[in-house]
């Protein structure tokens, strides 16, 4: 479809997150890449075009700094905490800043990986035990939403009583993603400020802990300044990037497994028809595709999937559409083994730094769910309001009670 096509396709972002397939599937008939008149940009729908975009050196990431600064001026409000978070998120940058941040995340994740997984395993058991005791629970609010912050709290020495506040403050809605309202952004900013302050206390170089030493080493070895302020901002980005994303994979992934098995799932049983655990992890990630979209702009004229993209054009990838591309994934809604690599973690130079870790955390969750016996879906599911990360805010389930 050319940029001047008389077809004026519009994208309703809220509908895209709510019912992605209803909205995106009909667009495929216009090609791998469609031009949207509102907002003005290319939308990428196929896996092959998505991979081309992710690997194209002429397509750069889209920092949100300018738009946040404009909002700040227009509404005369202080959004400095959001700006600080954006400064530390690698996929808000290209060039030397990106290289330094990518290195810092890779180093930190490499050095804390084993401890992170140990703490995840312990937290997962504890949270599921609580549900097991009562025979039911909310897999979203009572489990998936809490894991990353609980694990972080455990590693960084945040007392359990403070972790809920950390969780509330580091949801992506209103911070990294375009906020749906200014009020939401203002509230998110105030919460981020208080978390930053607390993280600065924890980051003071004189109060040493193994975790904080690893944070400091990751920064220094990546050529970044190691101060209480830089540690706190780096850790804020760490919290923002890992919470909702993992919650999305867990909740949307489990909901899909439940639905495709008639509402009841017995992962450990002999008649369970699902692929082995490693394939199941990949399928949960593909089917959930928590990060719905990713944006780029052309720094030079380029060609994607045979389509000319002019310098300055914006390109939005629907990772969700790419992961349900029927040409790449036969029967895309089915859970199957032997699939090609999906793009839920992005690709190219911005490929998610935590991909290996997340695959292990999901495998831990599946092992724990396997020991619970038969899990049943209960009514009351609701999607979170986020516009970039798709996850359930509530996912009630029944599990066999231990009592």
Distance in angstroms between the alpha carbons of the first and the last residue of the chain: 60
- CA 114 vs CA 150, 278, 335, 374: distances in Å: 16, 19, 29, 30
Q: Does 103 bind ligand HEM (CB under 6 A)?
A: no
Q: Which is nearer to ligand HEM, 79 or 352 (CB)?
A: 352
C-alpha neighbours within 13 Å on the C-beta side of residue 384: 23
Is 275 buried (19+), middle (13-18) or exposed (0-12) by CB count in 10 A? middle
Q: Which is nearer to ligand HEM, 190 or 355 (CB)?
A: 355
**What is the pattern of x (binds ligand HEM, CB under 6 A) and - over residues 211-240?**
---------------------------x--
Q: Which of 249, 287, 377, 387 binds ligand HEM (CB under 6 A)?
A: 249
Q: Does 241 bind ligand HEM (CB under 6 A)?
A: yes
Angle at 150 between CA 147 and CA 156, to 5 degrees: 135
Main-chain dihedrals φ then ψ at residue 260, nearest 5 degrees:
-80, -5
- Which residues in 79-98 contact ligand HEM (CB under 6 A)? 90-91
Minimum Å gap between C-beta 106 and ligand HEM is 8
Strands 33-38 and 9-10: parallel
Closest C-alpha to 284, from 324, 333, 249, 328 = 249
**What is the pattern of x (binds ligand HEM, CB under 6 A) and - over residues 163-182?**
--------------------
DSSP-derived letter for residue 342 is P
Minimum Å gap between C-beta 78 and ligand HEM is 26
- How many positions of this chain bind ligand HEM (CB under 6 A)? 23
Q: Which is nearer to ligand HEM, 216 or 290 (CB)?
A: 290
**What is the pattern of x (binds ligand HEM, CB under 6 A) and - over residues 262-301?**
-----------------------x----xx--x-------
Q: Does 344 bind ligand HEM (CB under 6 A)?
A: yes
206: Cα separation from own chain's centroid: 33
Q: Does 352 bind ligand HEM (CB under 6 A)?
A: yes
Helix (H, G, I), strand (E, B) or coil at 360: helix
H-helix or E-strand spanning residue 298: strand 293-298
Q: Which of 218, 322, 354, 369 binds ligand HEM (CB under 6 A)?
A: 354
8 Å CB contact between 74 and 47: no
Q: Which is nearer to ligand HEM, 35 or 345 (CB)?
A: 345
Binding residues (CB under 6 A) for ligand HEM: these are 61, 90-91, 102, 105, 238, 241-242, 245-246, 249, 285, 290-291, 294, 344-346, 350, 352-354, 358
């Amino acid at each position: 479809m050319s940029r001047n096509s008389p077809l004026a396709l519009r994208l309703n972002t809220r509908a895209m997150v709510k019912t992605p397939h209803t909205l995106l599937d009909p667009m495929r008939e216009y090609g791998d890449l469609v031009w949207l008149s509102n907002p003005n940009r290319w939308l990428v729908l196929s896996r092959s075009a998505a991979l081309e975009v992710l690997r194209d050196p002429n397509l750069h990431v889209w920092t949100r700094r300018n738009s946040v600064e404009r909002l700040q001026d227009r509404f005369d409000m202080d959004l400095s905490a959001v700006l600080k978070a954006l400064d530390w998120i690698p996929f808000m940058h290209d060039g030397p800043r990106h290289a330094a941040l990518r290195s810092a995340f890779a180093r930190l994740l490499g050095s804390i990986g084993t401890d992170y997984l140990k703490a995840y395993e312990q937290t997962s058991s504890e949270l599921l035990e609580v549900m097991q005791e009562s025979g039911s629970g909310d897999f979203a609010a009572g489990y998936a939403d809490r894991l990353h912050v609980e694990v972080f709290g455990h590693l960084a020495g945040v007392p359990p009583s403070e972790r809920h506040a950390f969780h509330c403050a580091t949801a992506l809605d209103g911070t990294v993603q375009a906020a749906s309202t200014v009020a939401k952004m203002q509230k998110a900013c105030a919460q981020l400020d208080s978390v930053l302050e607390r993280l600065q206390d924890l980051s003071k170089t004189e109060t040493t802990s193994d975790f904080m030493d690893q944070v400091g080493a990751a920064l220094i070895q990546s050529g970044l300044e190691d101060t209480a302020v830089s540690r706190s901002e780096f850790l804020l980005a760490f919290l923002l990037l890992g919470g909702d994303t993992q919650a999305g994979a867990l909740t949307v992934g489990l909901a899909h497994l439940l639905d495709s098995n008639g509402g009841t799932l017995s992962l450990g049983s002999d008649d369970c028809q699902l692929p082995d655990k490693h394939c199941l992890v990949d399928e949960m990630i593909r089917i959930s595709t928590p990060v719905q979209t990713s944006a780029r702009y052309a720094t030079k004229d380029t060609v994607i999937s045979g389509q000319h993209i002019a310098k300055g054009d914006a390109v939005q990838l629907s990772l969700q559409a790419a992961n349900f591309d029927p040409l790449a994934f036969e029967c895309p809604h089915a859970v199957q083994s032997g699939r090609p690599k999906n793009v839920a973690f992005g690709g190219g130079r911005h490929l998610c730094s935590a991909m290996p870790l997340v695959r292990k955390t999901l495998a831990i969750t599946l092992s724990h769910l396997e020991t619970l016996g038969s899990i049943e879906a209960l009514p009351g599911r609701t999607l979170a309001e986020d516009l970039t990360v798709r996850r359930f805010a509530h996912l009630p389930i029944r599990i066999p009670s231990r009592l």
